[in-house]
C-alpha cells in the first residue's frame, strides 16, 4: 500500500520519470557513456562498450536492491549488478568515477525529461487561459481591491493577466534548462585525478554523448544552486495556480457567486449538508501549492554543503525533487479541468456591478468633472468623495445624490457616467494584444 498520495491519489505522467526503475536506467546510461569515452581514448577495449550495453538490459532492479541490502550503497549496488552481467567487461564499469559523477549527471537527465513534460502541460494550460480571456474579453465585472468594490474590469482581462504570467513561467522553465542540463565527471573532489590527465576529454565526451553541458567546475557534486533554481520555478508555477484557484474560491462564495468550479451531477459537497457546492478542487490546489513552496526552502539549504560535500542533501532530495515535479504537474492537470468546466453566472456578475448603488463610478465622475466642468483634480476628488459618503450613509444611489448636488450634469450625461459597461477603458484592446 502506498504511503505518499503522490503514488496514487495525485499520481500523474510525471511519476514514471522519477520512479526507481527509470533512475536505475539513467545511471546505467551514464556508466555506458563513460565507457564509450574511455574506449574513444583507448583506455579500455572498444568491444567492452557493446558488452556493457547488452549487460545493462539484463540488470534487474530486484538484484540491485538485494546487493544494496548487503553493502548499504545504492550506486555501488548498481555498479556490481552491471558488472555481474558484463562478464570480462565488468572490470571497466565505473572506471575513474565517483558516485555523484553518475548520480548528478543522471539527475540532470531526469530533470530535463521532467521539465519537458511540464513545459508540454504548461503550454496546454496557457491555451486554456488564452481561450477564456478571448471568450470573456467583453464580460464586464466589478474589480476588487482590498476586498472592496473598486471600478469595473472584465473577466477577459483577469484571464489575460494569468495567461501572460503563464508565458513568463514557460520562459523561466526554458531558462532553467540551461543551468540544470549539466553533468560532471570530475571525481571525489572535482580534480579529475583518477582519469590520469584525460579528465577534461572524458568529461566532454560523456556529456556530448548524453546531450548535456559539462560543468566547468565542481567538487564531488554538481552545485545545488542549479537544483534550487528549478524548484523555485516550480514554486512560481504553483503560486500562479494558487492565485487562480484562490480567485475562483472567492468568486464562488455564496454572497458573490460570479463563477464556480464544475460540480458533477453525482458529486457530494458535504457529508451532512446536502446543498453544499464546495470549491474543494481549487482548495486542493491551494493546499498542494504550499508544499511545493516549502520544498524550495529545503533546496536552498542544500546549497551550503560542507567543504567538498557532505550527505545532508541526499536523503531529502529523494523526496523533494519527485514530489515538487509531480505536485506541480498534478495541480496543472486539476486547474486545466477546473477552468475547462468553469461556470459563469451572468446575472450575479451584473447584480454585483450595481451592488453599491453607483459608488463604483465615483472615479469616472471625478475624471469627468475635471475634463468637462473646469474643476481641478483635487477639488473634484473631494467633491465626489463627499457625495459618495452622503450616498453611502443615506443608502441612496450616487447618481441621485449627484443630480441633487447641482453640478450641471444632464440626465444623458448621468446615465452614461453611471453605466459600468462603458467604463472599462482599453481592457478589450489589452486582452487582444496580450492573447495574440
Return the active site residues.
146, 270
Number of CB atoms found within 10 A of residue 371's CB: 10
Closest CA relative to residue 420, chosen from 357, 344, 345: 357
To 10 degrees, the CA torsion angle through 329, 334, 337, 340? -90
- Classify residue 94 as left (phi > 0), alpha (psi -120 to 50) or beta: left
Within its chain, how far is the Cα of 71 from the centroid? 39
What residues contact residue 241 under an 8 Å CB cut-off, 6+ apart? 285, 289, 331, 332, 335
Contact 337, 253 (CB under 8 A): no
**What span, in angstroms and rounded, lies between the C-alpha atoms of 304 and 139?**
51
Distances (CA, A) of 192 to 37, 96, 195, 364: 14, 8, 6, 70
φ/ψ of residue 407, rounded to 5: -90, 5
Amino acid at each position: 500500500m502506498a504511503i505518499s498520495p503522490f503514488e496514487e491519489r495525485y499520481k500523474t505522467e510525471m511519476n514514471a520519470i522519477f520512479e526507481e526503475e527509470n533512475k536505475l536506467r539513467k545511471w546505467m546510461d551514464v556508466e555506458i557513456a563513460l565507457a564509450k569515452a574511455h574506449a574513444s581514448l583507448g583506455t579500455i577495449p572498444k568491444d567492452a562498450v557493446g558488452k556493457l550495453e547488452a549487460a545493462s538490459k539484463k540488470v534487474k532492479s530486484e538484484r540491485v536492491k538485494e546487493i544494496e541490502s548487503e553493502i548499504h550503497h545504492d550506486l555501488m549496488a548498481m555498479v556490481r549488478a552491471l558488472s555481474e552481467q558484463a562478464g570480462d567487461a565488468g572490470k571497466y564499469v565505473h572506471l575513474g568515477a565517483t558516485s555523484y559523477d553518475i548520480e548528478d549527471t543522471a539527475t540532470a537527465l531526469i530533470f530535463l525529461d521532467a521539465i519537458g513534460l511540464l513545459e508540454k502541460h504548461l503550454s496546454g494550460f496557457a491555451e486554456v487561459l488564452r481561450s477564456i480571456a478571448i471568450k470573456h474579453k467583453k464580460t464586464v465585472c466589478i474589480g476588487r481591491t482590498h476586498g472592496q468594490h473598486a471600478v469595473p474590469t472584465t473577466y477577459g482581462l483577469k484571464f489575460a493577466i494569468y495567461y501572460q504570467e503563464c508565458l513568463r513561467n514557460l520562459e523561466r522553465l526554458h531558462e532553467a534548462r540551461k543551468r540544470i542540463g549539466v553533468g560532471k565527471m570530475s571525481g571525489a573532489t572535482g580534480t579529475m585525478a583518477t582519469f590520469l590527465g584525460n579528465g577534461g576529454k572524458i568529461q566532454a565526451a560523456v556529456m556530448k554523448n548524453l546531450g548535456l553541458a559539462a560543468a566547468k567546475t565542481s567538487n564531488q557534486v554538481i552545485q545545488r544552486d542549479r537544483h534550487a533554481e528549478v524548484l523555485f520555478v516550480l514554486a512560481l508555477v504553483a503560486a500562479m495556480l494558487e492565485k487562480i484557484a484562490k480567485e475562483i474560491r472567492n468568486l464562488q462564495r455564496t454572497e458573490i457567486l460570479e463563477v464556480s468550479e464544475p460540480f458533477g451531477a453525482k458529486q457530494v459537497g458535504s457529508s451532512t449538508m446536502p446543498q453544499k457546492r464546495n470549491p474543494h478542487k481549487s482548495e486542493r490546489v491551494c493546499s498542494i501549492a504550499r508544499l511545493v513552496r516549502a520544498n524550495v526552502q529545503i533546496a536552498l539549504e542544500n546549497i551550503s554543503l560542507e567543504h567538498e560535500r557532505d550527505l545532508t542533501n541526499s536523503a531529502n532530495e529523494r523526496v523533494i525533487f519527485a514530489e515538487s515535479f509531480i505536485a506541480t504537474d498534478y495541480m496543472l492537470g486539476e486547474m486545466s479541468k477546473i477552468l475547462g468546466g468553469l461556470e459563469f453566472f451572468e446575472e450575479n456578475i451584473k447584480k454585483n456591478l450595481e451592488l453599491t448603488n453607483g459608488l463604483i463610478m465615483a472615479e469616472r465622475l471625478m475624471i469627468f468633472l475635471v475634463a468637462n466642468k473646469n474643476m481641478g483634480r483635487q477639488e473634484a476628488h473631494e467633491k465626489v468623495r463627499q457625495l459618495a459618503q452622503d450616498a453611502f450613509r443615506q443608502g441612496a444611489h450616487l447618481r441621485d445624490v449627484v443630480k441633487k448636488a447641482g453640478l450641471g450634469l444632464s440626465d444623458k450625461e448621468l446615465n452614461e457616467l453611471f453605466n459600468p459597461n462603458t467604463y472599462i477603458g482599453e481592457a478589450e484592446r489589452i486582452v487582444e494584444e496580450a492573447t495574440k
